[in-house]
């Protein structure tokens, strides 16, 4: 169990091990995401493996000091492989009472709280609904508490620069970052360089921020002897040699789509509409004009997908992206892309639902929507990314299937993957096989059939503008081969069968076992962003001798040909999902396996401990 270690008597001396979880929590305006992001970079430069979890409110500028305005950033870094952002933090930096209140329950017993006591005034305590000051009343006794007046210390540090009160206090996050850098024995210089570059237009402000950073760092050095603060060095993780960078899921998808379009030798057209947490993909792509990418911010979600289909019809790779509510709006157009058999990639960055739900929180509850959510018999391939780096690979795979089978493809990611960052070994693009598209440009032998098919049941792709191949397409049922309107019973049966057979026949790689063996007592079957906690939990349980394996499905639809046999080779199958059991239902339906659900829909990722408990329960 992850919590076992803290029960040991000596944990107060050194709660930290070779992997450390730190959570920065503060007001929306305190710059916690920035602090977390820069700390992440410093972890990367220190050679640690890491995973992050930004957790922020849906409100852009929530009222100051409120519980719902708390923004947090968690990072797990270590000297061995890191799969998740960590269960319980070892260190919590709380910039105000609300941040403490909302985050302290998850802090590891014996963990360290660093609180800015300057913010624990009556007003802020009342806003956080504290009746007494928790820093004073002993209610935090099971943790180590370090009270610092970070506000005052920051003000003192930046005094020489003559900033206004408000501006001076905005340097608090750099003071905190400075202290954190000291705690984990990190080099300050890259951060100083970054600050100087960021505030290049205002050297005084840059100097003030650097001073705050240095002051925080110096504070650590001088305070070490007295309080609970200890410096802790985390060795670099043993990772494969090569060039690395940090990558978020949104970056992974954007870059993967560009790579996919290049491998297909197609220009890309991206139609999008602003929605959290999918907008970042539109933002990334809109800066990549030199890669033959056209981005279009449409008037709504429907226009976004329709414009992408229009571009595919013209011979570009049409791509659209959204989150659950927007995907719902796109449903009818997906049906048209299926009917007209045009390539299209639809990215769904899933978030908590239904309806508006939890816009900034993560969930995996759109699997039914992806696989089944259209009118009529409307089969469509579905792929799910497990991590930011995997999102790059999945985006390429989605493009490949879309153009090789002339079909829309749904690529599932989620809010967690979209925002989280991980170290990514930069791939060598020359190792990827190209799949250049061949348009039909002249009447083939035997005549032109707009709905004629190749061995993959793919129909030809003809660009408007091509002489001799004029034809009409649309959403009304097509006649076999000719594509003319046809309502005949036999024809509809035949066309429905073809559309199904085409998707069923898509060649996807066989399912591998991520960890463990084929066959055995228990398989933990996951998909998407639950990869990290499942992988770590299975690893730990196997280390304890348990017979458990991890199977992680990328191809949700159609599923790998060997998956049914593989699942049947285990006595038991459990399926952890951040929904009420959607993949579980599909597995049961497809293979008649007694897959048991393990569900969590709190808007937060699974913890490793939760998966471990589920494994124990299944093996008991």
- Give CA–CA dist 304/346, Å, rounded: 10
Q: Tell me which residues in 212-241 interact with other proteins (CB under 8 A).
A: 236, 239-241
Contact with other proteins (CB under 8 A) among 307, 321, 323, 607: 307
User: Could you give the C-alpha distances from 23 to 17, 529, 537, 613, in angstroms and in order?
Assistant: 16, 20, 21, 24
The Cα–Cα gap between 188 and 213 comes to 8
Provide the minimum distance between the beta carbon of 389 and other proteins in the complex, in angstroms, as a whole number: 11
Q: Report the residue from 121, 246, 491, 599 that binds other proteins according to the rule CB under 8 A.
A: 246
Find the shortest distance in angstroms from Cβ 492 to other proteins: 17
Identified binder of other proteins from the candidate list 10, 131, 299, 490, rule CB under 8 A? 299
Comparison of 164 and 447: residue with beta carbon closer to other proteins = 447
424 or 527, CB closer to other proteins?
Answer: 424
Ramachandran angles phi, psi of 73, nearest 5°: -140, 120
Nearest residue (CB) to other proteins, 163 versus 346: 346
Of 505, 396, 496, nearest in space to 458 by CA: 505
Nearest distance from residue 122's CB to other proteins, in Å? 42
Give me the least distance between CB of 181 and other proteins, in Å please. 15
Q: Considering only residues 422-451, where is the footprint of other proteins by CB under 8 A?
A: 426-429
**How far, in Å, CA of 67 to CA of 179, rounded?**
25
Binders of other proteins among 247-266, rule CB under 8 A?
255, 258-259, 262
Residues 401, 458 contacting (CB under 8 angstroms): no
Between residues 5 and 426, which has the closer beta carbon with respect to other proteins? 426
Binding pattern for the stretch 17-56 against other proteins, x by CB under 8 A and - elsewhere? ------------------------x--xxxx---------
Which one of residues 439, 463, 504, 580 is an interface residue with other proteins (CB under 8 A)?
Answer: 463
**Which string of x and - marks every residue 372-411 that binds other proteins (by CB under 8 A)?**
----------------------------------------
> Any contact of residue 318 with other proteins (CB under 8 A)?
yes
Torsions phi, psi of 264, nearest 5?
-85, -10
The smaller minimum CB distance to other proteins, of residues 465 and 545, is found at: 465
Asked whether position 60 contacts other proteins by CB under 8 A, the answer is no
Q: Which of 1, 200, 434, 485 binds other proteins (CB under 8 A)?
A: 485
Q: Taking a C-beta distance cutoff of 8 angstroms, is the pair 545, 518 a contact?
A: no
Report whether the peptide linkage leading into residue 514 is cis, meaning its omega lies within 30 degrees of zero.
Answer: no
Shortest spacing between CB 155 and other proteins, in angstroms: 31
- What is the C-alpha separation between 334 and 595, in angstroms, rounded? 30
115 neighbors 146 (Cβ within 8 angstroms): yes
Binding mask 263-282 for other proteins (x = CB under 8 A): ----x-x-x-----------
Judged by CB under 8 A, the chain residues 336 through 365 that form the site for other proteins are: 336, 340
**Contact pick of 24, 73, 313, 557 for other proteins (by CB under 8 A):** 313
Q: How far is the CB of 242 from other proteins (least distance, A)?
A: 6
Q: Residues in contact with other proteins, total (CB under 8 A)?
A: 72
Would you say 269 or 451 has its CB closer to other proteins?
Answer: 269
Smallest gap from Cβ 128 to other proteins, in A, equals 35
Nearer to other proteins, 228 or 267 (CB): 267
- Can you tell me which of 136, 221, 224, 332 binds other proteins, judged by CB under 8 A? 332
Give the burial class of 132: count Cβ atoms within 10 A of its Cβ; 0-12 exposed, 13-18 middle, 19 or more buried.
Answer: exposed
DSSP 64: T
Q: Does 419 bind other proteins (CB under 8 A)?
A: no
> Smallest distance from the beta carbon of 343 to other proteins, in angstroms?
13
Query: Are 392 and 404 in contact, with CB atoms under 8 Å apart?
Result: no
Angle at 26 between CA 20 and CA 27, to 5 degrees: 160
| Radius of gyration over every alpha carbon of the chain, rounded to an integer in angstroms | 27
Taking the C-alpha atoms of residue 206 and residue 107, their distance in angstroms, rounded to an integer, is 33
- Establish if 290 lies at the interface with other proteins (CB under 8 A): yes
Q: Examine residue 310 and tell whether it contacts other proteins (CB under 8 A).
A: yes
Among 138, 447, 468, 545, binds other proteins (CB under 8 A): 468
The residues near 247 (Cβ < 8 Å, ≥ 6 apart) are: 388, 389, 392, 421, 422, 423, 424
Distance CA 606, CA 586 (A): 21
Least distance from C-beta 496 to other proteins, angstroms? 19
User: For other proteins, which is the closer residue by CB, 220 or 271?
Assistant: 271
Give CA–CA dist 287/591, Å, rounded: 45
From 393, 380, 371, 397, select the one nearest 336 (Cα to Cα): 380
Q: Which stretch binds other proteins (CB under 8 A): 169-177, 299-307, 401-409, 500-508?
A: 299-307
The answer to whether the beta carbons of residues 180 and 219 sit under 8 Å apart is no
| Distance of closest approach, residue 304 Cβ to other proteins, in angstroms | 8
User: Of 64, 80, 466, 569, which lies in the binding site for other proteins, with binding defined by CB under 8 A?
Assistant: 466
Rounded Cα distance between 345 and 410, Å, is 6
6 binds other proteins (CB under 8 A): no
* Shortest Å distance, C-beta 313 to other proteins: 6
H or E segment to which residue 264 belongs: helix 249-264
Residue among 81, 200, 314, 592 that touches other proteins (CB under 8 A): 314
DSSP state of 445: T
d(CA 536, CA 550): 10
**CA 431, 433, 436: angle at the middle one, nearest 5?**
140
Q: Is 284 helix (H, G, I), strand (E, B) or coil?
A: helix
Q: If residue 339 lies in a helix (H) or strand (E), which one and from where to where?
A: helix 324-340
Which of 135, 158, 229, 308: binder of other proteins (CB under 8 A)? 308
Say which DSSP state 584 is in: H
Q: Which of 437, 473, 480, 494 forms a contact with other proteins (CB under 8 A)?
A: 473
The residues, any chain, with a CB within 8 Å of residue 356's CB and separated by 6 or more, are 325
């Amino acid at each position: 169990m992850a919590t076992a270690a803290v029960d040991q008597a000596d944990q107060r001396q050194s709660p930290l091990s070779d992997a450390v979880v730190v959570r920065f929590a503060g007001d929306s305006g305190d710059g916690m995401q920035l602090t977390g992001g820069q700390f992440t970079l410093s972890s990367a430069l220190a050679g640690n493996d890491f995973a992050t979890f930004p957790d922020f409110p849906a409100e852009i500028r929530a009222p100051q000091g409120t519980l719902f305005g708390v923004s947090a950033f968690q990072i797990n870094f270590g000297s061995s492989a890191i799969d998740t952002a960590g269960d319980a933090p070892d260190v919590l930096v709380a910039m105000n009472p609300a941040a403490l209140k909302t985050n302290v329950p998850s802090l590891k017993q014996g963990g360290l709280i660093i609180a800015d006591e300057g913010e624990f005034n009556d007003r802020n305590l009342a806003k956080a609904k504290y009746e007494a000051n928790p820093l004073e009343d002993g209610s935090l006794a099971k943790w180590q508490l370090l009270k610092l007046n970070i506000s005052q210390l920051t003000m003192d540090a930046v005094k020489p620069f003559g900033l206004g009160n408000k501006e001076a206090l905005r340097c608090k996050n750099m003071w905190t970052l400075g202290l954190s850098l000291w705690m984990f024995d990190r080099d300050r210089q890259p951060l100083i360089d970054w600050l100087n570059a960021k505030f290049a237009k205002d050297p005084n402000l840059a100097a003030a921020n650097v001073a705050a950073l240095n002051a925080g760092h110096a504070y650590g050095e001088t305070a070490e002897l007295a309080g609970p603060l200890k410096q802790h060095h985390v060795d670099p993780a043993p990772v494969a040699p090569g060039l690395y960078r940090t990558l978020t899921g949104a970056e992974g998808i954007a870059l993967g789509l560009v790579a996919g379009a290049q491998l297909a030798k197609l220009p890309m057209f991206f139609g999008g509409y602003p929605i959290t947490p999918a907008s970042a993909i539109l933002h990334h792509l809109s800066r990549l004009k030199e890669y033959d990418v056209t981005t279009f911010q449409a008037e709504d979600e429907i226009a976004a997908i329709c414009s992408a289909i229009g571009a595919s019809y013209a011979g570009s790779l049409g791509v659209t992206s959204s989150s659950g509510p927007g995907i719902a709006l796109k449903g009818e157009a997906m049906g048209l892309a299926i009917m007209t058999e045009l390539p299209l990639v639809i990215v769904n960055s899933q978030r908590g639902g239904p309806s508006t739900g939890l816009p900034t929180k993560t969930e995996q509850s759109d699997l039914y929507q992806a696989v089944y959510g259209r009118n009529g018999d409307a089969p469509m391939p579905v792929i799910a990314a497990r991590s930011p780096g995997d999102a790059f690979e999945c985006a390429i795979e989605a493009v490949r299937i879309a153009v090789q089978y002339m079909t829309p493809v749904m690529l599932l990611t989620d809010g967690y993957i979209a925002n989280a960052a991980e170290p990514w070994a930069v791939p060598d693009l020359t190792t990827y096989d190209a799949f250049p598209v061949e348009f039909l440009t002249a009447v083939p032998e035997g005549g032109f059939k707009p709905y004629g098919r190749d061995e993959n049941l793919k129909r030809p792709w003809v660009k408007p503008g091509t002489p001799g191949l004029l034809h009409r397409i649309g959403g009304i049922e097509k006649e076999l081969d000719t594509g003319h309107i046809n309502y005949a019973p036999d024809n509809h049966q035949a066309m429905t069968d073809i559309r199904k057979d085409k998707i069923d026949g898509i060649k996807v790689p066989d399912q591998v076992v991520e960890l463990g063996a084929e066959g055995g007592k228990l398989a933990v079957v996951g998909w998407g962003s639950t990869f990290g906690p499942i992988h770590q939990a299975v690893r730990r349980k196997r280390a304890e001798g348990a017979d458990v394996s991890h199977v992680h499905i990328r191809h949700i639809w159609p599923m790998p040909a060997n998956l049914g046999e593989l699942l049947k080779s285990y006595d038991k199958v459990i399926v952890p999902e951040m929904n009420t059991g959607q993949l579980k239902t599909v597995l049961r339906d497809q293979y008649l396996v007694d897959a048991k659900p393990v569900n969590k829909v709190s808007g937060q990722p699974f913890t490793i401990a939760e998966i471990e408990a589920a494994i124990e329960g299944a093996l008991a």
